[in-house]
């Protein structure tokens, strides 16, 4: 909509403010500049911002689904499903664990190894995305604040400016909501893991040592993953509402200063 706004204007203009020493409204200069603006804007939006959001979405959904699979795996402990899973994983990895452990310990070892991998991956993902998520929090607060400030300004603002500002605010809110919702979803899937371990078929085990191992795994599983920004903010729906409150407080302060 930002790119198409000049099309509905009475005079020739470009999507972004432009100041040139010559008259750029004549053909073909106007068409060339318009194409450059549109291509640059679309490239930046689709490949940089939207591409980054989709990449984060894919990572968080993949980790969340892996926790769901891990929960199902612990729930299948000491059942016929366990035997089928062990058999298929032996062919896949060829790690010869069946030579070191019995059937149940082999299965537990694979589950614990998978859990450790997920915790390690989440930690590395946080470390990689820390600068990005912190900048997104700051930029979202500023963008939402100034977007509302523009809509509520008493100056000469037309309906196209109001619509573009509203669209601008909505895009930033939606972008932040994606990360916060998926961060909440990841935490939810990870928090259900101890329940799945506790509800597995451990009461009927006759091996006391294996029961102790399961208790240790249960204790270790209470380390619930968090998608965070430098550990300052956990990216969840609570932080999402907090950002909106801060943005509104910032807007109130700026509107009072402008009076």
What is this structure's pTM?
A: 0.79
The per-residue pLDDT string of the chain (259 residues; one tens digit each, 9 = 90 and over) reads 667 767 666 677 777 767 776 777 777 887 788 888 787 877 777 777 788 888 889 999 999 999 999 999 998 888 888 889 988 988 888 888 888 888 888 999 999 999 999 999 999 999 998 988 888 888 889 989 988 888 887 766 777 778 878 888 898 899 899 889 999 999 999 999 999 998 887 777 788 888 888 889 999 899 888 898 888 888 999 999 999 999 999 888 888 875 6
What per-residue confidence (pLDDT) applies to 39?
79
pLDDT of residue 5: 67
What is the phi-psi region of residue 233: left when phi exceeds 0, alpha when psi lies from -120 to 50, beta otherwise?
beta
pLDDT at 121: 94
Residue with tokens 């009072």: 256
**What is the reported pLDDT for 2?**
66
Residue listed under structure tokens 């899937």: 189
* pLDDT (0 to 100) of residue 193: 93
pLDDT value of residue 258: 58
Give the list of residues 6+ apart from residue 110 with CB closer than 8 angstroms, or none: 73, 86, 89, 97
From the number of C-beta atoms within 10 Å of its C-beta (0-12, 13-18, 19+), residue 108 rates as buried
**Distant-in-sequence contacts of 185-189, Cβ < 8 A, 24+ apart:** 185/60, 185/61, 185/64, 186/60, 186/63, 186/64, 186/67, 186/122, 186/225, 186/226, 186/227, 187/224, 187/225, 187/226, 187/227, 187/234, 187/236, 189/64, 189/65, 189/67, 189/68, 189/71
Q: Which residues pair with 228 in a beta bridge?
A: 234
Phi-psi region of 57 (alpha: psi -120 to 50; beta: other; left: phi over 0): alpha
Q: What is the pLDDT of residue 136?
A: 86
User: Residue 21 has what pLDDT?
Assistant: 66
Residue 170 Cα distances to 145, 237, 256, angstroms: 12, 16, 24
What 3-state DSSP class applies to 233? strand
């Amino acid at each position: 909509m930002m790119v198409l706004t000049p099309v509905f204007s009475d005079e020739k203009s470009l999507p972004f403010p432009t100041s040139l020493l010559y008259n750029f409204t004549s053909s073909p200069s106007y068409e060339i500049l318009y194409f450059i603006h549109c291509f640059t804007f679309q490239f930046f939006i689709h490949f940089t911002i939207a591409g980054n959001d989709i990449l984060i979405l894919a990572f968080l959904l993949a980790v969340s689904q892996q926790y769901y699979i891990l929960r199902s795996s612990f729930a299948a402990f000491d059942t016929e499903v366990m035997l089928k899973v062990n058999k298929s994983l032996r062919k896949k990895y060829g790690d010869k664990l069946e030579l070191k452990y019995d059937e149940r310990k082999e299965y537990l070892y694979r589950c614990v190894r998978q859990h450790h991998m997920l915790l390690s991956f989440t930690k590395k993902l946080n470390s990689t995305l820390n600068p990005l998520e912190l900048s997104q929090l700051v930029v979202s607060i500023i963008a939402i604040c100034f977007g509302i400030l523009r809509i509520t300004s008493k100056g000469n603002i037309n309906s196209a400016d109001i619509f573009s500002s509203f669209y601008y605010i909505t895009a930033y809110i939606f972008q932040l909501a994606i990360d916060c919702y998926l961060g909440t979803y990841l935490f939810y899937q990870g928090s259900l893991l101890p329940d799945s371990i506790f509800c597995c078929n451990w009461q009927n085990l006759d091996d006391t040592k294996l029961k102790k191992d399961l208790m240790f795994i249960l204790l270790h599983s209470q380390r619930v993953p968090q998608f965070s920004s430098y550990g300052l903010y956990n990216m969840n729906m609570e932080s999402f509402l907090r950002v909106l409150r801060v943005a509104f407080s910032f807007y109130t302060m700026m509107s009072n200063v402008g009076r």
